[in-house]
Amino acid sequence: MAVNTRKGLRKPTQMYRLKASKTIGPSLRSQEKFGGLFYFLSGEGVGIRPKGGILHAWRLPETKNIVDLYSLLPITQGGGEGNGPPGGAPMMTKKSPVNEQLYGDNPISQRKTDLYKGEYVQSFVQKWDDLIDWEARASSEGDFFIRILKERGVRRILDVATGTGFHSIRLLRAGFDVISADGSPEMLAQAFENARRAGFIMRTIHADWRWLSRDIYNKYDAVICLGNSLTHLFSEQDRRKALAEFYAALNHDGVLILDQRNYDGILDEGFTSKHVYYYCGDNVSAEPEYVDEGLARFRYTFQDGSTFHLNMYPLRKEYTRRLMHEVGFQQIKTYADFQETHKVEDPDFFIHVAEKRYKNEERPVTILGKLGNPNYSTTVETAREYYNSSDADRFYATIWGGEDIHIGLYQSDSDSIEEASRRTVKNMAGSVKNLNAQTRVLDIGSGYGGSARFLVKRYGCQVGCLNLSEIQNQRNREYNQRDGISLAINVVDGSFEDIPMPDGSVDLVWSQDAILHSGIREKVFQEVHRVLAKNGQFIFTDPMQGATCPREVVQPILDRIHLDSLGSTEYYQSLARDLGFREVGFQDLSANLPVHYERVLRELVAQHHVLIRVCTEDYLANMKVGLQHWIDAGQAGHLTWGILHFQRE
């Protein structure tokens, strides 16, 4: 990024800290008041100051050969805001870099919050990225944080524990508006350089959390405090003050994401680490040297033999959650590590997602748009928000059959959910007449696209996947790319109540356990009839209520999935007849419904130690109750499930 200078275009390459609090806008588009901001100076001595929405600069001749970090003293009297220093240059004093940590004769007695300022010495900071290993850490955490932020409609983020910039840069790449803060100027200097190499100009703030509002005047959709950073605060007063400052920096419905090491396990059971989630460097060790209830002193050893330490307060999980509640956060969800496949009992880290919003408040912002999709009915929008949630996505991807998230056909008690779910797909495909490579297929409510991939691989079809969940659709696209069949499957975000396809454009409409999520099911049938070519086929499954199902039996199910009713075989057959469909057949497979939900419940209980690391406790508890309602109603004969098959005349 070039800037306008009196000598032409220069690139900012060095960073200097402004000691005095000044009114300086770090953004290209707005001006805000910050203290402790950074000036960006080129190696040729160009100082940059935002003014009028663009970057201006002035010549600082005395800095010509500077390569180290300097403190910039207040500008000499007479220089106005945005005008630059008179005569060319302010006074500069060089700071020799500090490379040695000083803990005194008794390191374990050092238990004060301000200790961190002397711990992140330049030689340690320069090795920090070896400890983290950005590529390995990005792979281990995946899009965990990006998903949580996007599903809450977050756009503007304050990263209060920037470190060397790992998360700030990942979020910038994902399109978020990020301000990066840290208490260590050495860390911020390294973060800025890492961002520059990645093609970004990082907007940085040197700030102490306890007085964050002194330097931060804007409000944010999210504050993130990652990398086990809150642990640097040794007094409860400091922790409460910092959390209260984070709360104050958020919009009324903002979210705080804060992580911490699993100190409960260290204090109660001793230290173990999988070394694959946060500290991923292959040739670096991070382990406690001393631990008690008030101190965890960690030793970091690098490949070249150099050793550094950090003294930290060992936060217990429930204590941290209580503090967040007490400063005002209304909803707190706690996760453990990141991966669905993680199967070790003790996690390395906990991640707390704390919201200012009360549980019964509606969130005005939804994923991928402030107002959602105005073309979606209320029922469809409710289903969309549910399936876009991190809890639902991770639960279904982990437990509910892998790629197929629908009811399965069971032949023995040893059948897995995945095997049974795939058997349903094969049964349906075998029922379709003349299914071949020329068949144009539309899967409505396609989920993760397992059926579409089966049809492409087995029959060579071209398949369109129409689905309301953008999160599921992203997985679908990734799986298609993984299997090398992206060109055969077109994944579209949308609702089956308004199919974005021309009349008579497909030969087969396929759906599995999705139509129940429509509040206007007759509209779904009308749209299916419209897009089908002459003699086109419509085949689907759906959980349905029996003709004599008591309202009190089905009501708990409806409440759980936010519906007013379920369809029935008679209702669907009537809709089809009225539109001119001919019924090809109905396979009553109702006995599989309670078996399937019982199998899912059994798997949930067996894999609870896995799921609790990727789903919240509330979600899993509610899922257990909901599954039991389906089981009870199905075993009592009040629910119907099967394959309905129609053909357009």
Q: What is the pLDDT of residues 492-522, one digit of tens each?
A: 888 899 898 899 999 999 999 999 988 889 9
Answer whether 421's CB lies under 8 Å from 407's CB. Answer: yes
pLDDT at residue 116 greater than cutoff 90: no
Distance (Å, whole) CA 412 – CA 418: 13
Distance (Å, whole) CA 517 – CA 371: 20
pLDDT recorded at residue 403: 80
Query: Where is pLDDT greater, at 379 or 172?
Result: 172
pLDDT recorded at residue 402: 61
pLDDT recorded at residue 400: 66
Q: What is the pLDDT of residues 407-464, one digit of tens each?
A: 999 999 889 999 999 999 999 999 999 999 999 999 999 999 999 999 999 999 999 9
Phi, psi (degrees; rounded to nearest 5) at 486:
-60, -35
Whole-number average pLDDT of the chain = 78
pLDDT at residue 523 greater than cutoff 90: yes
pLDDT recorded at residue 401: 54
User: What band does 6 get if pLDDT is binned at 50, 70 and 90?
Assistant: very low
**Residue 443 β-bridge partners:** 465, 510
Query: Where is pLDDT greater, at 566 or 379?
Result: 566
The whole-number average pLDDT for the span 254-268 is 92
Query: Where is pLDDT greater, at 5 or 575?
Result: 575
Maximum mean pLDDT: which of 77-91, 277-291, 456-470, 546-560: 456-470
- For CA atoms 161, 167, 172, 177, give the dihedral sign: negative
Answer whether 347's CB lies under 8 Å from 336's CB. Answer: yes
pLDDT recorded at residue 271: 63
Query: Where is pLDDT greater, at 360 or 91?
Result: 360
- For CA atoms 110, 111, 114, 120, give the dihedral sign: positive
In the Cβ-directed half-sphere of 496, how many Cα atoms lie within 13 Å? Answer: 32
Query: Where is pLDDT greater, at 494 or 581?
Result: 581
Q: Which residue has the tokens 């940085």?
A: 204
Distance (Å, whole) CA 601 – CA 591: 16
pLDDT recorded at residue 345: 56
pLDDT recorded at residue 438: 93
Taking CA 242 as the corner, what is the angle to CA 153 and CA 118, rounded to the nearest 5 degrees?
115
Distance (Å, whole) CA 194 – CA 204: 13
pLDDT at residue 8 greater than cutoff 70: no
For residue 43, CA distances in Å to 17, 36, 64, 206, 254 come to 15, 21, 6, 22, 40
Instruction: Map residue 4 onto helix, strand or coil.
Output: strand
Poorest-confidence range of 35-39, 598-602, 611-615? Answer: 35-39
Q: Which residues of 363-372 are buried (b: 16+ CB within 10 A; e: fewer)?
A: eebbbeeeeb
Taking CA 601 as the corner, what is the angle to CA 598 and CA 603, rounded to the nearest 5 degrees?
110
Q: What is the pLDDT of residues 156-198, one digit of tens each?
A: 999 999 988 999 999 998 889 999 999 888 889 889 998 998 8
Q: What is the pLDDT of residues 118-164, one digit of tens each?
A: 888 878 887 777 666 677 677 767 778 888 898 888 999 999 999 88
Could you tell me which residues come within 8 angstroms of residue 277 by beta carbon, excluding any fewer than 6 positions away? 137, 140, 141, 337, 338, 348, 349
Query: Where is pLDDT greater, at 388 or 427?
Result: 427
DSSP 63: G
Domains with residue ranges and CATH for the chain:
3-94 (no CATH), 121-268+315-355 (3.40.50.150), 388-648 (3.40.50.150)
Q: Where do the H-state alpha helices sit in 144-294?
A: 144-151, 166-173, 185-197, 212-215, 236-248, 263-269
pLDDT at residue 15 greater than cutoff 60: no
The whole-number average pLDDT for the span 347-351 is 85
Q: What is the pLDDT of residues 25-74, one digit of tens each?
A: 333 222 233 333 333 333 333 333 333 333 333 333 333 322 222 233 22
User: What band does 468 get if pLDDT is binned at 50, 70 and 90?
Assistant: confident
Q: What is the pLDDT of residues 544-558, one digit of tens each?
A: 999 888 888 889 988
- For CA atoms 338, 147, 356, 187, give the dihedral sign: positive
Distance (Å, whole) CA 453 – CA 428: 14
Distance (Å, whole) CA 520 – CA 385: 18
The whole-number average pLDDT for the span 561-582 is 92
pLDDT recorded at residue 321: 93
For residue 173, CA distances in Å to 165, 167, 195, 199 come to 12, 10, 10, 10
Q: In the chain, pLDDT over 90 holds for what percent of residues?
A: 43
Structure tokens at 580: 């001119």
> Is 484 buried (19+), middle (13-18) or exposed (0-12) by CB count in 10 A?
exposed
pLDDT at residue 254 greater than cutoff 90: yes
> Is 108 buried (19+), middle (13-18) or exposed (0-12) by CB count in 10 A?
middle
pLDDT recorded at residue 338: 56
- Nearest C-alpha neighbor of 285 from the set 265, 307, 269: 307
pLDDT recorded at residue 119: 85
pLDDT recorded at residue 558: 87
Q: pTM, whole model, 2 decimals?
A: 0.49
> Is 298 buried (19+), middle (13-18) or exposed (0-12) by CB count in 10 A?
buried
Query: Where is pLDDT greater, at 259 or 612?
Result: 259
Cα end-to-end span (Å), the chain: 63
Report the amino acid identity of residue 389.
S
The whole-number average pLDDT for the span 260-264 is 90
Distance (Å, whole) CA 545 – CA 636: 11
Query: Where is pLDDT greater, at 230 or 339?
Result: 230
User: What band does 18 get if pLDDT is binned at 50, 70 and 90?
Assistant: very low
pLDDT recorded at residue 376: 64
Poorest-confidence range of 52-61, 303-312, 412-421, 562-571? Answer: 52-61
pLDDT recorded at residue 372: 40
Give the other-Cβ count within 10 Å of 461's Cβ: 23
- Nearest C-alpha neighbor of 161 from the set 192, 193, 190, 183: 183
**Residue 225 β-bridge partners:** 258
pLDDT recorded at residue 282: 59
The whole-number average pLDDT for the span 359-387 is 56
pLDDT recorded at residue 443: 96
pLDDT recorded at residue 531: 95
